[in-house]
Amino acid sequence: MKMNRRVLTLDEFTIQELRNYPGATGQLSGLLRDIGLAAKRVNVEVNKAGIADILGEAGKTNVQGESVKKLDEFANDQLINSLATSIYCCGVASEENEDIICFEDEYSRNSKYVVLMDPLDGSGNIDVNVSIGTIFSIYRRLSPNGELCNIDDFLQPGSQQIAAGYIIYGSSTMLVYATRRSVQGFTLDPSIGEFCLSHPNLRVPETSDIFSVNMGYYHLYEEKVRKAIDIFMARNAGEKVYRHRFVGCMVSEIHRTLVQGGIFMYPAFGKYTEGRLRLCYECNPMSFLMEKAGGSAIADGERRLLDIKPRELHQRIPIYIGSTEMVSAVKETIR
Ligand code: AHG
Ligand code: MN
Ligand code: MN
């Protein structure tokens, strides 16, 4: 019987990649599979959120002082359990945990990767049935194999990432990840419960007509930031018209930007003097991914975001990320 060639699953794809790189050990592929498995478990709960008793606040606040929803906790537990069971990860840092978690068993102690994550991003969207996501970032440890990992393994500049990606729980569920070589997008096929390669070799358009920023804070942004935003606001008929989008979930903004191009901005304002989004869990992984797709990301007027050495795990940072031409225009104006 002749079969139509079906699309590759995540596992099939990473194994095929291994064949092209004979020196590779397969550990990163294994780690991606473990993250993918946790994501599928989270996906099932996300889809049930409307009917299960899982909606709403869990009644606690996270280390950022924000209220934690039940799904945040569930996603955090699933990912940590999956990584603890994995033999490819020696430790994890999460937006939901104050400190790093070092896995003590022998296999974990002897594995070379650490993972940083935002287990559930955009959790304010859960109650209103709008997309949410998971973000992850993978580094090679600096501490010697065999020992417990330590904080320095996690505080590396984003340029040192080995891989990074996100899962978006949207109208379909997708897993998108970048390695140093490329960006690949997989869509969950619910009929077989596998992520299938749907967006090979993703490249972000050099420019577009979409800009994204929380305009509610417009008057609280610094003047030079307001001027940068003004680039995208048409004043006269006949000028180029930009479309404004703001979902309230970074994963969704980045996913749209990757596919359709555009710029996503989260400047500092008010009490968020260092910006609102987290350097290690949100901005570094997304900047790595965007650069690998041909786009750019800066932290303020000048600095490439990936060059920043984190001071602390939960540090925040302003970000301007997306199509290179649009990020450059903002950079010129802010400078
Ligand atoms: P989290 O749910 O992990 O706390 O992150 C939500 C973040 C981010 O994804 C989004 O861009 C931002 O919060 C939206 O915040 P505002 O509505 O205050 O702009
Ligand atoms: Mn988040
Ligand atoms: Mn979160």
> Strand 89-94 to strand 113-121: parallel, antiparallel, or no bridges (unpaired)?
parallel
- Alpha-helical segments (H) within the chain: 10-20, 27-48, 70-85, 106-109, 151-154, 223-230, 250-260, 284-292, 324-334
What does the alpha-carbon distance between residue 80 and residue 92 come to, in Å, rounded to a whole number?
Answer: 7
Asked if residue 3 is part of any domain, the answer here is no
- How many domains does the chain contain in total? 2
What's the pTM?
0.94
Burial of 256-282, coded b for 16+ CB within 10 Å and e otherwise, reads bbbbbbbbbbbbbbeeeeebbbbbbbb
Task: Tokens for 303, please give them.
Answer: 């600095």
Q: Residue 1 pLDDT more than 60? A: no
Domain boundary (150, 175, 199) is at 199
CA of 144 to the centre of ligand 2 (A): 31
CA of 129 to the centre of ligand 1 (A): 15
- Model confidence band, residue 84 (pLDDT cutoffs 50, 70, 90): very high
Substitution candidate for ligand 1 out of 121, 255, 256, 316 with most atoms within 8 A of CB: 121
Nearest partner of 254 among 300, 306, 291, judged by Cα: 291
- The answer to whether residues 193 and 261 belong to one domain is no
Residue-averaged pLDDT of the chain: 93
- The answer to whether residues 187 and 223 belong to one domain is no
Domain boundary (176, 199, 222) is at 199
Asked if residue 146 is part of any domain, the answer here is yes
Give the pLDDT confidence score for residue 54 in this predicted structure. 52
Task: Tokens for 239, please give them.
Answer: 């000028």
Question: What percent of the chain lies above the pLDDT cut of 90?
Answer: 82
Q: What is the CATH number of the domain that holds 97?
A: 3.30.540.10
For 112, the domain range is: 10-199
- The answer to whether residues 228 and 292 belong to one domain is yes
CA of 29 to the centre of ligand 3 (A): 25
Q: What is the mean pLDDT of residues 279-285?
A: 98
What does the alpha-carbon distance between residue 61 and residue 59 come to, in Å, rounded to a whole number?
Answer: 7
Asked if residue 5 is part of any domain, the answer here is no
For residue range 109-162, list pLDDT tens digits in order.
999 999 999 999 999 998 889 999 999 999 999 999 999 999 999 999 999 999
For residue range 210-257, list pLDDT tens digits in order.
999 999 999 999 999 999 999 999 999 888 999 999 999 999 999 999
- The answer to whether residues 195 and 323 belong to one domain is no
- The answer to whether residues 83 and 184 belong to one domain is yes
Substitution candidate for ligand 1 out of 250, 256, 269 with most atoms within 8 A of CB: 250
> Which residue CA neighbors atom 12 of ligand 1 most closely?
248
Instruction: Give the number of whichever ligand sits closest to the CA of residue 73.
Output: 3
What does the alpha-carbon distance between residue 18 and residue 293 come to, in Å, rounded to a whole number?
Answer: 21
- The answer to whether residues 86 and 134 belong to one domain is yes
Question: Which protein residues have their CB within 5 A of the ion that is ligand 3?
Answer: 95, 118, 120-121
CA of 144 to the centre of ligand 1 (A): 36
Q: What is the CATH number of the domain that holds 220?
A: 3.40.190.80
- The answer to whether residues 183 and 221 belong to one domain is no
Q: What is the mean pLDDT of residues 43-64?
A: 70
- The answer to whether residues 119 and 187 belong to one domain is yes
- The answer to whether residues 56 and 160 belong to one domain is yes
Task: Tokens for 60, please give them.
Answer: 């606690």
Asked if residue 121 is part of any domain, the answer here is yes
Q: Residue 76 pLDDT more than 80? A: yes
The Cβ of residue 335 has, within 10 Å, a number of other Cβ atoms equal to 11
- The answer to whether residues 155 and 21 belong to one domain is yes
Asked if residue 1 is part of any domain, the answer here is no
- The answer to whether residues 22 and 106 belong to one domain is yes
- The answer to whether residues 132 and 219 belong to one domain is no
> Which residue CA neighbors atom 6 of ligand 1 most closely?
122
Question: Which protein residues have their CB within 5 A of the ion that is ligand 2?
Answer: 118, 121
- Model confidence band, residue 185 (pLDDT cutoffs 50, 70, 90): very high
CA of 334 to the centre of ligand 3 (A): 29
DSSP 8-class letter at 188:
E
Give the pLDDT confidence score for residue 50 in this predicted structure. 65
CA of 161 to the centre of ligand 3 (A): 20
